[in-house]
Structure 1
Amino acid sequence: MKYSNIDFNNKTVVITGGAGFIGSNLAFYFQENYPNCKVIVFDKFRSEETFSNGNLKSFGHFKNLLGFNGIIISGDINNKDDLARLEEYDIDYIFHEAAISDTTVADQKIMIDTNVNAFKDLCDLAVRKNASMIYASSAATYGNSTVFKVGHEKPNNVYGFSKLMMDNLAKEYFDKIRIVGLRYFNVYGPREYFKNKTASMVLQFGLQLLKGESAKLFEGSDNILRDFIYVEDVIQANIKACETDKNGVYNVGTGRARSFQDIVNILKRELEIIRDDTYIPNPYIGQYQFFTEADIEDTKKYLGYEPRFSLEEGIKAYLPEIIRIYEEEVR
């Protein structure tokens, strides 16, 4: 489905983090809808390097790009020589999805280097190329806030802080290029499997249930509410951001908070599974958001965005892929 009146054929699109979850979905959106669009995926790709928390430093995976016909550049956004390889292209749009997205990473230097300093280098590239910059911000900027609207940020971890600093930096470019930040809420959907432990709980609960296990929820999960958004609506927001004449930062969610218990109940209903759940203590209290709900009025007004998938509809659309992952990657 096309989300814009822009004809991206004969345009050049760069997607940083294009072998990751959202980036790879963007790559295939352009390939499937605009066969003459030149799509360049720039991604670090995964190695065996890990952070102190044991999680991988990069989640980019070649399997997310099986069937992709565009240009692949293996590069690190922190490496200026790698970024220089993009200079040879006449770039029209940059979709900046590369980041350290693991909210449990404690290394503050690498978080700021990757999420803030490298972003400035990419913004400067966009200025030189007169390209539009659409970049991934995050609902983590709100932290413990009770108001999920731009101007009410209270990040409670370095990841949320780094994304807020990206948003602040973007303002310096408002009079130079089209630049739009998208604060993603809890995204789930195809091509997230290789995020491993940081993949959405929709996928993790689904795989637990398919393995014959009980779903493992934090205690009080019926009262832990988040705005869960299907990846197809995130793609919609990215594409519609290319049309707006109002630079800024916009929330990308459904506008309705749902519980983790809701996810499990929907999955069990769709899979026709009757099984008791298991409840465990939450080890992340202090850096954990217990409630998020996107205020999307500005996103609707200025981007023409309208979420298409409720949690029920998103899980139903995603379920065949969850089953495929279980059968081909897990079992």
Structure 2
Amino acid sequence: MIDFNRKTILITGGAGFIGSNLAFYFQEKFPEAKVIVFDKFRDESRFSNGNRTSFGHFKNLIGFQGEIISGDITNKEDLARLNDFKFDYIFHQAAISDTTVQDQKIMIDTNLNAFRDLLQMAKRHKAAMIYASSGAVYGKLPAPHKVGVEAPANIYGFSKLAMDYLAYEEMKKTDLPIVGLRYFNVYGPREYFKEKTASMVLQFGLQLLRGEKPRLFEGSDKIKRDFIFVEDVIQANIKACFAKKSGVYNVGTGKARSFKDIVDILCKELGIQREYEYIPNPYVKQYQFFTEADIAPTCEYLGYEPNYSLEEGIKADIPYIKKIYDEEIV
């Protein structure tokens, strides 16, 4: 295991869901590490779909004692603020992660072009680059999903696959570690400020606590996804720093579960019994009905092993869901 103490670590998107969890991991496990959070933070701007252009939120960083820099990864002047540091590790989590955004130019500018700039920064600093890719690169392909067989169904998935291709090219030119992590359906603490794009674990949990019927798409017992608890995503990021070889790896549990399973587990953990409401699925044409990560290479080359089943992950997430309901829900 790498000792990150006395190392300088950059986390882009560090006020977001996964980035803030990474920030606290280093603060708690390696108190002598210098951690710099770089995040755009939310403002009042929104995409044409009505969703925010940034989900970074100060509340995700309450208690974080490292350095915080507000900046946009697409703005070279903002990135220049990072020239004062010499990074050992870069964890690139910043992105437009909203899969319903249709603006292709801003998606490519933010996810791909900014990544190109950050890769050059990593080379200048001789820093390891660990970045967030996505299971969205697989589109509607049948599971299990294997790296090397991709067919993105939206501009988000396309942008992430383009990032992976760019990373592969850079891997040929450098011995520095470059690892892309294709996250599947991540859930857990600090995701509330993703709003409508937060996981269904949180959304169903809040529906139940509000006294509502959980709303499931028709056929939800057959709609299955690879749901992964955020602690396992953090594990994958850390182990990527000493991967046996650079590359792109899936990060999931390797076991698809249904949306109905989520509600069943939440009802059990919250001690709530409620009739389910089934509604038509309006996203049929662009919907992934079955995702399941092939994690064999991830286990082999990263030493990764998921620690949380869906039951264990939701149980661990319950205090956060209750906290959000008590503090944020009017």
Q: Common fold, TM-score beyond 0.5?
A: yes
Matches of residues 1-331 of structure 1 in structure 2 within 5 Å?
A: 5-147=1-143, 148-174=145-171, 175-176=173-174, 177-331=176-330
Post-superposition CA distance 1:158-217 (Å, at most 9, x none): 000000000000012113121000000000000000000000000000000000000011
Q: Distance in 1 between matches of 2:228 and 2:302?
A: 17
Q: Which moved more, 1:271-280 or 1:113-122?
A: 271-280
Answer whether contact 1:42 1:73 (CA < 8 A) is retained. Answer: yes
Counterpart residue type for residue 197 of structure 2: T
Q: Distance in 2 between matches of 1:7 and 1:139?
A: 30
Q: Distance in 1 between matches of 2:289 and 2:238?
A: 30
Percent identity, aligned pairs only, is 72
Counterpart residue type for residue 36 of structure 2: I
Q: Distance in 2 between matches of 1:172 and 1:13?
A: 24
Counterpart residue type for residue 191 of structure 2: E
Q: Distance in 2 between matches of 1:97 and 1:115?
A: 10
Instruction: Please list every run of 5 or more consecutive structure 2 residues that lacks an aligned counterpart in the other structure.
Output: none
Post-superposition CA distance 1:271-320 (Å, at most 9, x none): 12111111111111221110000000000000000000000000000001
Off by >2 Å, runs of 4+ in structure 1: none
Q: Distance in 1 between matches of 2:69 and 2:270?
A: 40
Answer whether contact 1:244 1:302 (CA < 8 A) is retained. Answer: yes
Q: Distance in 1 between matches of 2:152 and 2:46?
A: 24
Q: Distance in 2 between matches of 1:317 and 1:222?
A: 23
Q: Distance in 1 between matches of 2:167 and 2:122?
A: 12
Post-superposition CA distance 1:69-95 (Å, at most 9, x none): 000010000000101111110100000
Q: Distance in 2 between matches of 1:17 and 1:283?
A: 30
SS at match of 1:95: strand
Post-superposition CA distance 1:216-244 (Å, at most 9, x none): 11111111000000000000000000001
Post-superposition CA distance 1:247-266 (Å, at most 9, x none): 10000000000000000000
SS at match of 1:133: strand
Q: How many residues align?
A: 327
Q: Distance in 2 between matches of 1:125 and 1:151?
A: 27
**Deviation of the 1:245 alpha carbon:** 3.4
Answer whether contact 1:224 1:260 (CA < 8 A) is retained. Answer: yes
SS at match of 1:137: strand
Q: RMSD value over aligned CA atoms?
A: 0.7
Q: Which moved more, 1:49-58 or 1:276-285?
A: 276-285
Counterpart residue type for residue 132 of structure 1: A
